[in-house]
Amino acid sequence: MSLILSIVVDGVAYGMILFMISVGLSITMGLMRIINLAHGGFALLGGAAVHLLTTRLDVAFIPAFLVAVLAVVLVSVLLERLLYRHIYGFNELGQVLATIGIVFIMIATVNLFLGSTILPLGAPAIFTTPIDLGFRTLPFHRLVVIISGLLVLAGLWLLMEKTRFGIYLRAAVDNRIAAASLGINTPLVYLVAFATGAGLAAVGGILGAELLPIEAYYPLRYMVLFLIVVSVGGLGSISGSFLASISLGILDTAGRYLLPGIGTIFFFVAIVVLLALRPNGLMGKAQ
Partner 1 sequence: MMDPVLSTSPRRAPTALSFLIPSISVVVGASLAFLIFPYDLSFLTRIVIMMIFVVSFDLILGQAGIATLGHAAMYGCGAYAAGLISLHLSPDPLLGLLVGAVAGAVMAWISGLVLLRTHGITLLMISIAVTMVLQETASQARWLTGGADGLAGITVGPLLGLYEFDFVGQVAFIYSVSILAAVLLLCQVLIGSPFGLALRGIEGSASRMRAIGTPVYRRKVTVYVIAGAIAGIAGALAAQVTGLVGIEVFNFSLSADVMVMLILGGAGRLYGALVGTLLFMVVHHVAASIDPLNWLFVIGFMLLIVVFVLPKGLVALPGRLARLLRRTS
Contact 69, 203 (CB under 8 A): yes
> Which stretch of DSSP H or E encloses residue 138?
strand 137-139
Q: Which of 8, 67, 70, 96 binds partner 1 (CB under 8 A)?
A: 96
Stretch that binds partner 1, among 1-9, 57-65, 133-141, 267-275 (CB under 8 A): 267-275
Q: Where are the alpha helices (DSSP H) in 182-217?
A: 186-207
- The residue type found at 166 is G
248 binds partner 1 (CB under 8 A): no
Binding-residue pattern over the window 8 to 47 for partner 1, x denoting contact by CB under 8 A: ---------------------x-----x------------
Under 8 Å between Cβ of 209 and 121: yes
- Binding of residue 111 to partner 1 (CB under 8 A): yes
Position among 98, 146, 169, 173 found at the interface with partner 1 (CB under 8 A): 98
From the list 39-47, 191-199, 237-245, 262-270, the region that binds partner 1 by CB under 8 A is 262-270
Q: Which of 19, 36, 44 is nearest to 221 (CA)?
A: 44
Q: Which stretch binds partner 1 (CB under 8 A): 9-17, 53-61, 81-89, 187-195?
A: 81-89
At 89 the three-state DSSP class reads: coil
CA angle 40, 160, 146 (to 5 degrees): 55
Contacts of 107 (CB under 8 A, 6+ apart): 41, 44, 216, 217, 219, 220
Among 97, 144, 167, 191, binds partner 1 (CB under 8 A): 97
Q: Residue 137's beta-bridge partner residues?
A: 132
Distance (Å, rounded) from C-alpha 196 to C-alpha 188? 12
Helix (H) or strand (E) holding 139: strand 137-139
| 22, 148, 231, 253: residue in contact with partner 1 (rule CB under 8 A) | 231
**Identified binder of partner 1 from the candidate list 67, 100, 192, 211, rule CB under 8 A:** 100
Taking CB under 8 A as the rule, does residue 282 contact partner 1? no
In the complex, least distance from residue 262 CB atom to partner 1, rounded to whole angstroms: 6
Quick check: 29 and 234 in contact, CB under 8 A? no
Q: Contacting partner 1 (CB under 8 A), which of 227, 244, 251, 283?
A: 227
Count CB neighbours of 81 within 10 A: 12
User: How far is the C-alpha of 123 from the C-alpha of 47, rounded, in Å?
Assistant: 11
**Which member of 77, 143, 150, 271 binds partner 1 (CB under 8 A)?**
271
Q: Does 230 sit near partner 1 (CB under 8 A)?
A: yes
State which of residues 105, 131, 151, 154 lies at the interface with partner 1 (CB under 8 A).
105
**Residue 86's beta-bridge partner residues?**
none
> Which CB atom, from 127 or from 226, has the smaller least distance to partner 1?
226
Q: Which residues bind partner 1 (CB under 8 A)?
A: 29, 35, 83, 86-87, 90, 92-94, 96-98, 100-105, 107-109, 111-112, 116, 220, 224, 227-228, 230-231, 235, 261-262, 264-265, 268-269, 271-272, 275-276, 279-281, 287
